Amino acid sequence: MPDPSGAAVFTTMLPAAMLVVAAGVVALLGWFRPGLPPSFHRWLGSIALVGAGIAALITFHALGNTGGVGLVAYAGAVIADRFDAYAVLLLCGAGLVATLTSGAAAARLGPRMPAFQALVLTATAGGVVIAAQWEMGMLVTGLGLLVISLIGMVALEKTAEPPGEAAFRALVTAGVAMALLLYGLAIIYGATGTTNLAATRGQFVHGAALEGLGLALTLVGLAFLVGAPPLHHWLLQVAAASSGAVAGAVISLAVASGGIALVRVMISGFSPGMRPWVVLAAVLGAVACLYPAIVSLAAGSVRRLIALGVCLQGGLLLTALIANGVGRDYLSAQGAVALLFALLVFVLAIQASFQAAARLDADGIGSGISDIRGLGRRSPMTAGLLCLGLVGLAGLPPFAGFLARILIAETAMAVGYSWLAAASVVASAIYVVPVLRCLAAVLVEDDDLPALVSTSPWLPGLVGAACAVFGIAAFALAGPLIFAAHGAASALR
Amino acid sequence: MSFLAQTSSAASTSGASFPTIIYTCLVWSALLFAAVVLVMPDQTHEQRSRIKSLGISGAGAALFFAIWAVESQIADVALGTGGLPGGDLVERHLWIASFQFESTYHLDADGLSLSLVMLFGVVFFCAALAAWKNDRHVKMLAVNLLILETAAMGVVVSYDWILFLLFWTLPIAPIYLLVRAFGHGQGDRAAGRYAVGMLASGALLTLAAILITFQGGLHSLDMGAVPVTLPGKGGGVAFWLITVAALLAMAIVPLHGALLDLEEDSTGVLSAIFVAVLPSLGAFALLHVAVGFFPTAAGSYSLFFAAVAVVTVVWAGLAALRTDDLRRLIGHVGTVLMGVALLGVAGHSTIAVTGVMYLLIARGLVVSLLMLLVSAIQESTRRVRISQLGGLAWQAPYLSALWLLASLSVAGIPFLAGFTGDYLIFTGSFPAHRWATAIVLGGTLLTAGVLLWTAQRIFFGSSQDSFARVRDVGPLDLTYLGVLIAVILLVGILPGHFAGLFQNGAGYILFPGTV
């Protein structure tokens, strides 16, 4: 292995290093100085995340003249390119929201709050490693760091039994997914003779069954992060069992990292010209769109509705994935552009809706549809946030999710997958129906219960509302955001 | 050129770079007021009154800009640009450039758009006035009505697919919530059915937009680049996707059930808006998008449109004859008139399409007037069944007179709004579809007869003791009903004022690229 250049190593590893070091500091301070207020750890984590984001922003600008090649270190195992910078910004944003809103779970986390903050940082660092990797070993390292951190975040709420069970189920699912991924990568290594994802795409033999199996296993292994079937139950379980703040943090970080991993591995590593995984992704995408949409018609609780909305979004991400310039020049990577733009607005919608769930927790309101009747009168702020979150999740106008859905369907049809485009549009339309029912329950129906005085801390609600507002603003700002996504996608090779 | 037109075209004549923002104001002014209303308290009577005032102001602002836009374009007819897109009011700014297609913030209007802009401005303003009497869910009503107005205005002036789809799907949630909040009887079911229908039409239009963009080889979502030619069966598929979506929204037989239920189970104000606005949006999509993008296909399938028009008019006319429910009756009348408009589309001639624009205005005004009158009758008598009413003319002479005026407009009596539209549609369609025109004409007369017969049953005959305390329409009612009547008379007496605008618009739709 040639000696890595100092600048390249520094640039590629800086955000992840900052996050891991900060996580260590937060954890140690929590261990040795238990008397420190929870807000101290929160702000320390926030500073680290902002710092990592700024580092990524500088990288994004500094790489303008590299033609998308970026800086490569450790014999191509890691790379700092525009995609990496975009991904780090997105992950740090998701991590920052998770950190700032963690106060809503303070009662259930108790003295374990510093550990939670540290795990948010390590989970973000895991996602950052996945974004920067170009090699199977680094991929597994990043994925392991991410998954263990996420499971730990769920398990920390051990004052109640359901989160523990959810964490265990997530652990089992993650274990299965990791196993599938490792089998897939092993088969691909056997077939191509390299673990470097930059080299694999040139080594594939088109139509080979073994390689097809490897690609399929890898895809299914990665798709569990975005909540796509068949490994989506962990997401439903976490959404139902964890507090709103924790579920929002875990799921938004998982989806953001999952989307990034899918792009980096499947597009950058395996090329969209490989038919086996593209066809499988199309089928998975259609199932992941339609199944949660249809199941959501019978959803009896807000949390389940939100979780199914996230699964639907996972399906949409897979739909965008297959549309990444099949049969075209990679620079016209429009599917990846749509995916990256969608990923941003989806994460915002997830956070906004789970912050609403967190406010329901804090106000002592159940998450059943019958529990939220008349919420518009009883607790206008919570009701407003819930409505914004659900409408954003459903991708109704004026939220940018609406535009993201159109872009994804456009890209699917552009590469000849008209049926998949139709499935994604139909699924999105179906999901609107239960959301409308929920809105009516909140705003129209009433059960004459007295008005509530919310005891929820102000910061999580404010951050959740900011996510919702940015989800709307992203529609108007679609031009620059898509330009940024285009810059990131054009770095994929 | 009028003062308004001079002001709006200052950019082009003086060389100044001040941007024209009439259409932006037209679309977004109502939403701006909705945002203000949203943050206002609504606990006391005074606070609710303030919200209602803001609702009226929002609708009034949109009406002001609608009149400005229409009069400015009418003034431009003499210059040859009025009623055609690309005039001095056009707004076009690049929005999304880094994708495989470009998207622009493109607002513009042709004659058809302007006819509907005028209609929506008047109807929403009158509805906002009529909503003054409501004291339930005041904030929700004001906010959602203003969002609905934004959506309706946005649909007809959008010249970019993303904007068009945004505004097309924007009303789904407000309509659902309004009907759930104010509906009675089977309101919940009606709201759900209609929402599903709107979602389906939105999905079909989305797929059509994607198909047109890619199969047409376009790298832009701009809707001004018409007509398009798609290879293979793409053109036919896109045409039918748009047509079905439009017919769903137009509530043409057999797709009319959901809208009828919606109108029957809502309050008067909401029913007036639903019956006037929603089918008009469908007619706009059919003419502006389906016919505008695929004029040849529309001409080829004109027999289909004529057949559907016949079925619609006959079915709805007979249903109007049978029904005993006043709201449902007005719903059927609206469906009949929409069938007449469809015959105009089938006529596929400049005369017929010009007639459609007149008819859409007349239809919207008349059916919303009738629906508000039904609301007034129901409010006074607590009854909505025709068989339970009678002799109201003695207690409510204004109500009776207004009803008769509206009925005569449906019949197409000269000097009322309905005349010009009916005349032009029947004249323009007769050469192509003689039998269909004759049957639709008969159906229209039957419907007018039903309305007059209904007037005879509910207003005339001996006075009933149970209605001794029934009061006639009050000053507030007369204000908004008077506005509707004034516009019906204006369009009826001065149809020539709009003629150039509508003719140019019809030419643009039928012969895009040549006008």
Per-residue pLDDT, A18: 92
Dig out the tokens for A473 from the structure: 């603003």
The continuous run of DSSP H or E covering A308 comes out as helix A302-322
Q: Which of A411, A425, A436 sits opposite B203 (nearest CB)?
A: A425
Q: How many domains does chain B have?
A: 1
Q: Which residues does chain B have within 8 Å of residue A409's beta carbon, measured at their own beta carbons?
A: 206-207, 210
Residues of chain A above pLDDT 70, percent = 92
Q: Which residues does chain B have within 8 Å of residue A475's beta carbon, measured at their own beta carbons?
A: 166
Task: Let me know if residue B241 belongs to a domain.
Answer: no
What DSSP line would sit under B434-488, residue for residue? HHHHHHHHHHHHHHHHHHHHHHHHHHSSSPPGGGTT-----HHHHHHHHHHHHHH
Per-residue pLDDT, A346: 96
Q: Which residues does chain A have within 8 Å of residue B199's beta carbon, measured at their own beta carbons?
A: 429-430, 432-433
Query: Using CA atoms, how far apart are residues A392 and A348, in angstroms rounded to an integer?
Result: 8
Task: Let me know if residue B7 belongs to a domain.
Answer: no
Cβ of A436 and B176 within 8 Å? yes
Cβ of A429 and B211 within 8 Å? no
Query: Using CA atoms, how far apart are residues B189 and A430, in angstroms rounded to an integer?
Result: 16
B171 CA: distance to closest CA in chain A (Å): 9
Task: Let me know if residue B337 belongs to a domain.
Answer: yes
Of A262-266, A293-297, B479-483, minimum mean pLDDT range: A262-266
Residues of chain A above pLDDT 90, percent = 45
**Domain range spanning residue B382?**
317-515
User: What confidence category does residue A67 fall into, taking pLDDT thresholds of 50, 70 and 90?
Assistant: low
How do A71-73 and A78-80 pair as beta strands? antiparallel
Cα A366 to chain centroid, rounded: 26
Task: Let me know if residue B481 belongs to a domain.
Answer: yes
Cβ(A91)–Cβ(A124) below 8 Å: yes
Cβ of B206 and A409 within 8 Å? yes
Helix (H, G, I), strand (E, B) or coil at B103: strand
Q: Which residues does chain A have within 8 Å of residue B213's beta carbon, measured at their own beta carbons?
A: 410
pLDDT at B18 over 80: no
Cβ(A353)–Cβ(A396) below 8 Å: no
In total, the C-beta contacts within 8 angstroms joining chain A to chain B are 100
What is the rounded (10 degree) CA torsion for B441, B446, B451, B456? 140
* B195 part of contact set with chain A, CB < 8 Å: yes
Task: Let me know if residue B12 belongs to a domain.
Answer: no
Task: Let me know if residue B42 belongs to a domain.
Answer: no
Per-residue model confidence as pLDDT tens digits over A99-152: 999 888 888 888 889 999 999 999 999 999 999 888 888 899 999 999 999 999
pLDDT at B267 over 60: yes
Closest CA to A428 of A443, A414, A408, A442: A408
Domains of chain A, residue spans: 6-489
Per-residue model confidence as pLDDT tens digits over A170-194: 888 888 888 999 999 998 888 888 8
- B181 HSE (CA, 13 A, CB side): 26
Query: Using CA atoms, how far apart are residues A286 and A140, in angstroms rounded to an integer?
Result: 27
pLDDT at A342 over 50: yes
Residue of A nearest to B166 (CA): A397
Dihedral sign for Cα atoms in the order B169, B171, B174, B178: negative
Task: Let me know if residue B136 belongs to a domain.
Answer: no
Task: Let me know if residue B358 belongs to a domain.
Answer: yes
Long-range contacts formed by B190-194: CB under 8 A, 24+ apart:
B190/B258, B190/B261, B190/B262, B190/B264, B190/B265, B190/B266, B191/A440, B191/B262, B192/A433, B192/A436, B193/B257, B193/B258, B193/B261, B193/B262, B194/B258, B194/B259, B194/B261, B194/B262
ipTM over 0.85: yes
Cβ of A410 and B203 within 8 Å? no
